[in-house]
Structure 1
Amino acid sequence: MDSVATDTVKHRKARAAREGFDARAMSPAKALRVGLGKAADGTLGLALSVSTVEQSRLSQKDLPEVLAGTGLTCLVEDDRGRRGAVRLDFPALSAVIEIQTIGRVAEREVVERPLTRTDAALCAPLLDAVFEAFETGAEDLPDGQSWQGYRFGAMAEDAHSLSLALEADHYHLFRVGVMLGEAKRAGVYELLLPVMDAPQVSKEKPGRPRDEPRALSPVVMGAPVTLQAILARHSIPLEKALSLKAGDQLIVPGSGAMALRLEAPGGHLVSDGRLGQVNGMRAIRLRKQPSHQAAEADQKSQAAAKPAPATRARARPAAPQSDPVPTPREAQKTVGSAD
């Protein structure tokens, strides 16, 4: 009997200690509970207390049944493209709208009505504030990244279109019972967020460094580069360019139609060469180094491509010009008129 009593006392003490630890420890459900109250008070001045929080995990096939409820349902999305959903039932929705329109939650029965995008716009600030407070409270959790970055997206027209937008295999469902305003109106807030994949466990040997530095040269040298073979460049008015058609001829200036330039992005000259054929296919014979003339032309083209300075240069005084030398006939006329 004494041993049984001793075990019972130990069990009670252990259970009390465990419950005290659980009460102090943060969890997604507790973070959402705290976040809802802070967001409602800070954004709308709405008194909100949480009565119940239920958390469950759903698969993709369970979504149509979950999304079939009534109320305002909105799509939410994070900066990585993950999508979820949030829903306020009609009592919770009406309380959010009433606190913004008449300044209080009325003590009356809530009647369901058709929803509009105005309803979603009035709820968007509260929903975003809830997400901010939720992610702040859950950021130190082992799976804290699962709750980060979500914001209001758009009002869902119906459950079918919303289910098509939700592509994850599994979802977390939070169903939160709330009491709103001095009237203590009972409402429900539901949050549906995708389950993040577990991080891959490293299979490296214990003695091997986790992050070995990679040499930069192989990475750079393996990067793709686009080169362009340029036969000639023409500067023509836009009107003429738009009027070009098949059969029109363009004169190729320079040393001939066989000479060309090989350029990298940005017009940088890589090499010059000549156009020819190999095994019946067009080919380019490259020089080891750009020719002197091609290098000078490249420098001139890059200098011409630079934009003119924004400030106007001060005009220099024109140089004195000498009088033109008269022709013999003009000189004869001048002498005749003098006589």
Structure 2
Amino acid sequence: MTQADPNSHGSGVLRRMLQAKAQARLGQGGAPQLPATAPPTPARAGATAIGRAADRLYQLPVRALSVQPGALTLAELPEMLPELPLVVVLQGPGDLLGAIALCPQAVAALVEWQALGRVTSRGLERRRPTRSDALLCADFINAFLTDLTAEMEGVEGFEAIAGYRFLTHLDDPRPLSLMLEDRPLRSLSFHLAMGAPDMREGQVLLALPQPAGAALRPRPDATPALSAPVAPPVPAPAPVRVSLAAPMLEAPVVVTGVLCRKRVSLAELRGLLAGRLMALPRSCLTQATLETADGQVLATAKFGEAEGCHALRLRDPEASDADDGAPTLSTHGLSLGAALGAAAMPADLAQPDPFRHAAGASGPIDLPLGRDLTALRS
């Protein structure tokens, strides 16, 4: 005959009590009740919209350090702008106009990310934003306004923010008060951390007009007005990241063909007259150089003629003098990029030119052939 455990009865009671409390917390055996979702606020919606727009458009990390919604008048708007702002006028539904202003740090972060693929922490020169800065920020502004419309759906006081797009930028923010209609404005002021690991702290101010008859600060007990249902925004196609590589390759570059450089005395220089011949070494025809405006040597070449025009046949430094298989650079019919692609580039483009002296240095005069000597003779 076994002896009963004196603790068995007590442990069973304790177990039943714990199960009863657990069933009560779960709603008498049902699913656990999830906490109610917090209602959207202007600050949360604005922070989500601006971060999502930067990530969707450029994969640029943007974190909202603070977002302050507010209400202001047209007279107060110039006082809220950051220093040296990029001011953009926004076109809204009908004839409504709004404005958005970006501080120089925010503009620099957007431009650097598109041009360099990263945000730097270097100092900025003090200048006004240009039209080029505005065009580089236009896509971000439009994407932010689109996401802000979706995030602000159902947020009291910010119902009339849909339909705004980039219109133009202002070189001077002073005419802004003349362009916008004198009516109450809703505002969102952002303090942002843009970029990673290096980042810039930027400020963005958005000001949009309220429709006629709308109150800036509705009473808590006021009954919300019924409005027509707003069609859900059509998702925009995935944007293609714009690169500045192609436009930079189209930038013009001035190069100069130099036969040789010859040192002359001041007396010989003053004696140069129109039609006078100057003796040149024979090696200049085979040792010509192609140089930039700063005197950096790009390639060596042989001077000659092609299709009735003076031409330079670029040389490979490793090829023999008798090798004529190198491409020819003439005044027409051949691009400079194709010709330089076949020639060996110098190892150091910053190699100093012995014929070029620092300002104020004494010594013989550097006289590249082909220059206009009228000013020197006078």
TM-score of the two chains, using structure 1 as the length reference: 0.50
Q: Is the radius of gyration larger for structure 1 or structure 2?
A: 1
TM-score of the two chains, using structure 2 as the length reference: 0.45
